[in-house]
Structure 1
Amino acid sequence: MTDAFIDIPGVRNFRDAGGIGALRRGVLYRSGSFHDLTEEGARRLKALGLRTVLDLRSPFELEVWPDLRHGLDHETLNLPTLPANREDVDRPWPEDQASLYPFMAGTAGPSLVAVVRHLAAPGTLPAVVHCAVGKDRTGLTIAVLQSLLGASEEEITTDYLRSNVGLGLDKGPQPYVDETGAERTSRPISAALLDSALSWITGRHGSVPDYLRAHGVTDEELTALHANLSG
C-alpha cells in the first residue's frame, strides 16, 4: 500500500484524498463504511480530528449496516449517490459495473452538490466521504472534488485505482454479501470506468463545475470549497 493509506481498524480502504492538485492533506479522507469500526479505530479517527462523515450509502444500507461511533462526536450526513427506488429514475437501472458509472453521473448531481456545500461550510473539516467499501460511489465523488481542486486526470485516476489495492481487488474479484443478504462479486475498477462517468458529465455539461451549477451549486460555494480544502 502507499503512504496515502491509514490503518483504521474496522474500516476498509481508508486513505487521505489530498496531496494532489491544490487539495491539501489532512482535511479530506475516503473509505468504506464504519459499520465494523473498532474502539481502537475510533481512537485513531479521533486523533485525526474527524468532524464530519458524509455517507453516500442508501437509507436501507444504513439500516442494515449502521456506522459505529464508540463515543465519537462527529456530524454524520446521509447523502445517497443512487436513488432509493428504481421508479425514481427515468433511465435503465445499471445491470453491471460498466453501466453503473454513467448512471451514477446521471443521478449523483444532488448528492455531489450537497457534499460540496457541506465541505465549503466553516467547521466541517477534517471530513471523510464513504460508501460501502469506498470504491465506486466514493470514487466518483472524490474524483469530482479533486477535479475542482485542480488535480490532473492522471492524478485523479491514480488515486481512484488505489481502491483495488485497498480492497485486495488487485488479486482479482472478491466475493461479498450485499445488504439484502445476496452473495455477489466485487470486481476490480479500471480507469475506463471512471472516465465513462466523467465523460458523461463533460459531454452533457461541458465541465465539472458547470455540471454542479446545473444542479444548483453557486460560484460562491465553489470558491468557499477551494478556500477550505486548498493548501
Structure 2
Amino acid sequence: MTDAFIDIPGVRNFRDAGGIGALRRGVLYRSGSFHTLTEEGAQKLKDLGLRTVIDLRSPFELEVWPDQRHGLDHETLSLPTLPANREDVDRPWPESQADLYAFMPETAGPSLAALIRHLTDPAALPALVHCAVGKDRTGLTIAVLQSLLGASDADITADFLLSNLGLGLDQGPVPYVDETGSERLSRPVSAEHIASSLGWIRTHHGTVPAYLHAHGVTEAELDAVRANLSV
C-alpha cells in the first residue's frame, strides 16, 4: 500500500489527504467511520493531534453507528452530504453508483460550504473527513478540497482510487450489511465516478471556487482555507 495509509485500529481506509497540489500532509485526513474505533486506535488519533472530525453520514447512520471516542476531545461536526429525506429531492434518487456521483454535487453544496467555513480557523486543524467507509461522500468532499488547493485532476483521481485498496475492493465488490440491516454490495470506485462529479460542478458553475461561491462561501474564506492547508 501507499504510505498515505495510516493504521488506526478499528477505522477503515484511514489516510492523509495531503501531498498533492498545495495541500500539505498532516492537516487533513480521510477515513471510514469511527463506530468500531478501538482504544488503541484512539491513542493513535490522539498522537496525530486531531482537532476536528467532520461526519458526512445521515442522522440515521449516526444513530445506528455512533462514532466511538474513548476519551478523545476533538470537535465533531455533522454535515450530511445527502438529504435526510428522499422526499426533499425534486429528482429521482440515484439507483446506481454512477448515478450517485452525478447526484452528490447537487446536494453536497451546503455541507461543503459549512466545512470550508470551519477550516478557515487554524485551530480546527488537523481535521478529518469521514462517511461510512470513506469512499463516495468522502471522496467527493476531499476531491473538492484538493482541487481548491490546486491539485490536478490526474492526482485527485489517483488519490480517490486508493479507496479500492483501503477497503479491499481492488479485487471486486464486497458484501456488507447497511444501516437498515440489509445486505448489499460495496463496489469499487472508478476514475469515471469522480470525473462525473467534477464534471457536474464545472458544467453548472464553471469552477470549483464558483461552485462554492454559489453556496455562500466568500473569496476571503477560500483564501483562508488555502492559507491554512497549503505547504
| Band the TM-score falls in, shorter-chain normalisation | over 0.9
Measure the CA separation in 1 of the matches of 2:74 and 2:30.
15
Map of 1:153-168 to 2, 5 A cutoff?
Answer: 153-168=153-168
Q: Which amino acid aligns with 1:83?
A: P
Uncovered stretches (5+) of structure 1, i.e. residues with no partner: none
Map of 1:52-67 to 2, 5 A cutoff?
Answer: 52-67=52-67
Measure the CA separation in 1 of the matches of 2:9 and 2:122.
29
Measure the CA separation in 1 of the matches of 2:84 and 2:211.
22
| Total equivalences in the alignment | 231
Q: Partner of 1:213: helix, strand, or coil?
A: helix
The answer to whether 1:48 aligns with 2:40 is: no
Q: Which amino acid aligns with 1:20?
A: I
Structure-1 residue corresponding to 2:178: 178
Deviations 1:18-65 (A, max 9, x none): 001100000000000000000000000000000000000000000000
CA RMSD of aligned residues (A): 0.5
Structure-1 residue corresponding to 2:208: 208
> Cα distance, 1:120 vs. partner?
1.4
Q: Partner of 1:128: helix, strand, or coil?
A: strand
Measure the CA separation in 2 of the matches of 1:203 and 1:162.
26
Structure-2 residue corresponding to 1:111: 111
Structure-2 residue corresponding to 1:89: 89
Deviations 1:147-188 (A, max 9, x none): 000001110000000000000000110000000000000000
Measure the CA separation in 2 of the matches of 1:213 and 1:86.
26
The answer to whether 1:188 aligns with 2:210 is: no
Measure the CA separation in 1 of the matches of 2:185 and 2:48.
33
Q: Which amino acid aligns with 2:91?
A: R
TM-score (norm 2): 0.99
The answer to whether 1:38 aligns with 2:38 is: yes
Uncovered stretches (5+) of structure 2, i.e. residues with no partner: none
Measure the CA separation in 1 of the matches of 2:171 and 2:71.
36
Measure the CA separation in 1 of the matches of 2:77 and 2:114.
10
> Cα distance, 1:17 vs. partner?
0.2
Q: Which amino acid aligns with 1:24?
A: R
Measure the CA separation in 2 of the matches of 1:125 and 1:91.
36
Q: Partner of 1:170: helix, strand, or coil?
A: coil
Measure the CA separation in 2 of the matches of 1:3 and 1:122.
25
Q: Partner of 1:116: helix, strand, or coil?
A: helix
Runs of 4+ in 1 over 6 A off after TM superposition: none
Q: Partner of 1:53: helix, strand, or coil?
A: strand
Structure-2 residue corresponding to 1:137: 137
Measure the CA separation in 1 of the matches of 2:10 and 2:210.
38
Structure-2 residue corresponding to 1:197: 197
> Cα distance, 1:122 vs. partner?
2.8
Measure the CA separation in 2 of the matches of 1:176 and 1:118.
33
Measure the CA separation in 1 of the matches of 2:116 and 2:190.
25
The answer to whether 1:121 aligns with 2:125 is: no
